[in-house]
Amino acid sequence: MKLSKTSEYALRILSFMAKDANRSYSAKYLVEKLNISDKYLRRLMTGLTKAELICSKQGRNGGYQFAKNINNITIYQIIDAVEGMEKYFGCIMGFKECSDDKPCSMHKIWSSMRDKLLQTFMKTTLADLKISDTMKY
């Protein structure tokens, strides 16, 4: 399974910031370091700010910083903030009427995997994501 670019970028940004979680990061610095377009980065940061995962300060020494401890920010919260988790709950084959009562051919297989994936997203924190300094962004 592959995450969307939106979720990938949000996780990339926050895991980069988590290397020095007490620091304030300017949008310009993040754009340069992470090779993400300015417009896309700012849209993601707006969603993350609205979800109260990060906050922004204006002014010369302003920028983005964490609004809560990185031990308390989960992958689930990050993805939910930037695109919502709905697509991970639905039928893998796209059937709107697929349910436990009216399952598609993949329902039992996918529901088990989906539950494990969601548990992983809910228990894995930003602090758990170790990004090596040698990792290319």
Residue 102 has pLDDT above 70, yes or no: yes
The full set of domains in the chain, from first to last, is: 5-128 (1.10.10.10)
Q: In which band, very low, low, confident or very high, does the pLDDT at 65 lie, cut at 50, 70 and 90?
A: very high
Looking at residue 34, what is its pLDDT?
93
* Each residue's pLDDT tens digit, 2-49: 789 999 999 999 999 999 999 999 999 999 999 999 999 999 999 999
Cβ proximity of 63 and 25 under 8 Å? yes
Q: Model-level pTM?
A: 0.86
CA end-to-end distance (rounded Å), the chain: 20
Q: What is the mean pLDDT of the chain?
A: 90
